[in-house]
Amino acid sequence: MDTSNKGFSSKLIHAGGITDEKGSAVTPIYQTSTFRFKNADQGARFFSGEEKGYIYTRLGNPTIEDLENTVAELEKAYGGLATASGMAAVNTVYQTLLGTGDHMIGHNALYGPSRGVMEKHYPKLGVEFDFIDATKIEEIEKVIKPNTKLLYLETPANPTMGVTDLKAACDLARKHNIITCVDNTFCSPYLQRPIEFGADIVLHSMTKFINGHADIVGGIVVARDKTLFEELKYVMINMGFNIDPHQAFLARRGLKTLAIRIDRAQKSAIKVATFLESHPKVEWVLYPGLKSHPQYELGKKQMDGPGAMISFGVKGGLEAGKKVMDNLKLAVLAVSLGGVETLIQHPASMTHSKLSKEARESAGISDGLVRYSIGIENVEDIIDDLEQALEKA
Ligand SMILES: *Cc1c(COP(=O)(O)O)cnc(C)c1O
């Protein structure tokens, strides 16, 4: 059905636009690598683009398209490309926009491997980069060069929760003919739609909030316009970054409950952050929903809610933080985020351990920082769990 005039939650359920010939109420899993042509001429027409039809799953598949169309509509984009992982989405963007002699600017506190792969692999391809504190627009401006092709942002950033002014950053990039890409994993389109502020490309690790059940790995890239979309698509399908139909089916199913999952987790996160901030053993809390957050006002302006991710430091640094992590019983000690279960992890020794200590420190990822992803359990249980673990720190 046409959901363009419907509300966000209705889009979550009904967008996608794929109808099944057999009348299946939800889009089935087209678990096939290839599609039968009616005759040789039809095959030729599909290949030439004269007629739209499915050819081969790496190039397109109805189950995958349902997911791609839905996320694109939620993000107010022209089109979407689902990928095998969030990192495949990141590399689709890097490979499409950057080549020998090109320069990219990235926020310094990105998801670890999004920065790591740029620093370690892309110099071999002749790509230059600067990682700076993009929460300060003047820091972006300072490193813009004539060969800058990409501004790569993440807001709120992983794991420092720094918020970048999307409108100001996108305006600045556009003035210099630079493409802006925003990793919107922490917010999901329910809480933030970067294209509304001028972003050209948005990507997600669907492993997190979009799927929401910690049972698949997947990613997606969406583009504001057709030209950019076609360029990204060429790279995605020819690099073989594509998702599998079964994975896509699970992500599309998980996506249906995005709004109610986030509503619940966010409500709890506000209570948990307030609890942590008033706890005598907690040194600091970074959560965009607390007035103490350095970009609290900006977060309120560009996000529809503060989300379900909290970073905090326990008094006594890493050793005390480890005590808390080891004593939590309800929260799972595991990386990843955005699932229905509450997770805790330690970026300096886990997700961001491949970055140098200097890179971590200049990005604000201190050794004492622990990252908490609030799930949808009863909030009393989440807080009780934290309380007993903090007691032991
Ligand atoms: C997890 C994550 C990624 C990478 O996604 P994968 O699905 O693990 O490849 C990228 N960005 C952010 C913000 C993430 O949290």
Q: Are residues 19 and 79 in the same domain?
A: yes
Catalytic annotation present for 208: yes
Q: Are residues 129 and 70 in the same domain?
A: yes
Closest among 124, 113, 214 to 154, alpha carbons compared: 113
- At 64 the pLDDT is 98
Mean pLDDT of the chain: 96
As for how many domains the chain has, the answer is 2
Helix, strand, coil % in the chain, rounded to nearest 5: 40, 15, 45
- At 388 the pLDDT is 96
- At 365 the pLDDT is 84
Asked whether residue 34 carries a pLDDT value surpassing 90, the answer given is yes
- At 357 the pLDDT is 86
Pairing between β-strand 343-345 and β-strand 103-107 as defined by DSSP bridges: unpaired
Asked whether residue 13 carries a pLDDT value surpassing 90, the answer given is yes
Q: Please tell me the distance from the alpha carbon of residue 191 to that of residue 115, in angstroms, as a whole number.
A: 24
Asked whether residue 104 carries a pLDDT value surpassing 90, the answer given is yes
Q: Are residues 137 and 223 in the same domain?
A: yes
> Each residue of 71-81: pLDDT tens digit?
999 999 999 99
Sheet (strand 128-132) strand order: 79-83, 219-223, 201-205, 179-183, 148-154, 103-107, 128-132
Asked whether residue 257 carries a pLDDT value surpassing 90, the answer given is yes
Which of 199, 223, 255 is where one domain is finished? 255
Is there an atom of ligand 1 within 6 Å of 205 CB? yes
Question: Best mutation site among 108, 164, 203, 208 for ligand 1, i.e. most ligand atoms within 8 A of its Cβ?
Answer: 208
Q: Which of 6, 45, 58, 267 is catalytic?
A: 58
> Each residue of 280-335: pLDDT tens digit?
999 999 999 999 999 999 999 999 999 999 999 999 888 888 999 999 999 999 99
Query: Which atom of ligand 1 sits closest to the CA of residue 185?
Result: 13
Nearest CA to ligand 1 atom 1: 205
Question: Would 194 be classed as within a structural domain?
Answer: yes
Q: Are residues 203 and 85 in the same domain?
A: yes
What CATH number is attached to the domain comprising 374? 3.90.1150.10
Q: Please tell me the distance from the alpha carbon of residue 81 to that of residue 155, in angstroms, as a whole number.
A: 21
Nearest CA to ligand 1 atom 8: 86
pTM over 0.95: yes
- At 128 the pLDDT is 98
Is there an atom of ligand 1 within 6 Å of 351 CB? no
Is there an atom of ligand 1 within 6 Å of 373 CB? no
CA 2 to the chain's CA centroid: 26
- Nearest-Å Rg of the Cα atoms of the chain is 21
Question: Best mutation site among 152, 207, 210, 215 for ligand 1, i.e. most ligand atoms within 8 A of its Cβ?
Answer: 207
- At 239 the pLDDT is 98
In degrees, rounded to 5, the angle at the alpha carbon of residue 358 between the alpha carbons of residues 355 and 364 is 85
Q: Are residues 42 and 146 in the same domain?
A: yes
In degrees, rounded to 5, the angle at the alpha carbon of residue 247 between the alpha carbons of residues 97 and 351 is 60
- At 393 the pLDDT is 87
Question: Would 307 be classed as within a structural domain?
Answer: yes
Where residue 378 falls among pLDDT bands split at 50, 70, 90?
very high
Where residue 29 falls among pLDDT bands split at 50, 70, 90?
very high
Query: Which atom of ligand 1 sits closest to the CA of residue 158?
Result: 13
Asked whether residue 85 carries a pLDDT value surpassing 90, the answer given is yes
Beta strands in 50-178 (DSSP E): 79-83, 103-107, 128-132, 148-154
- At 106 the pLDDT is 98
Where residue 21 falls among pLDDT bands split at 50, 70, 90?
confident
Ligand 1 centre distance from Cα of residue 256 (Å): 20
- At 356 the pLDDT is 87
Is there an atom of ligand 1 within 6 Å of 154 CB? yes
Where residue 273 falls among pLDDT bands split at 50, 70, 90?
very high
Asked whether residue 364 carries a pLDDT value surpassing 90, the answer given is no
Is there an atom of ligand 1 within 6 Å of 85 CB? yes
Is there an atom of ligand 1 within 6 Å of 164 CB? no
**Domain span holding position 158:** 15-255
Which of 255, 275, 291 is where one domain is finished? 255
123-150 mean pLDDT: 98
> Each residue of 315-330: pLDDT tens digit?
988 888 899 999 999 9
- At 96 the pLDDT is 98
Which positions ≥6 away from 341 have C-beta within 8 Å? 214, 331, 332, 375, 377
Question: Would 280 be classed as within a structural domain?
Answer: yes
Asked whether residue 17 carries a pLDDT value surpassing 90, the answer given is no
Catalytic annotation present for 111: yes
Is there an atom of ligand 1 within 6 Å of 208 CB? yes
Nearest CA to ligand 1 atom 7: 86
Q: Please tell me the distance from the alpha carbon of residue 121 to that of residue 18, in angstroms, as a whole number.
A: 38
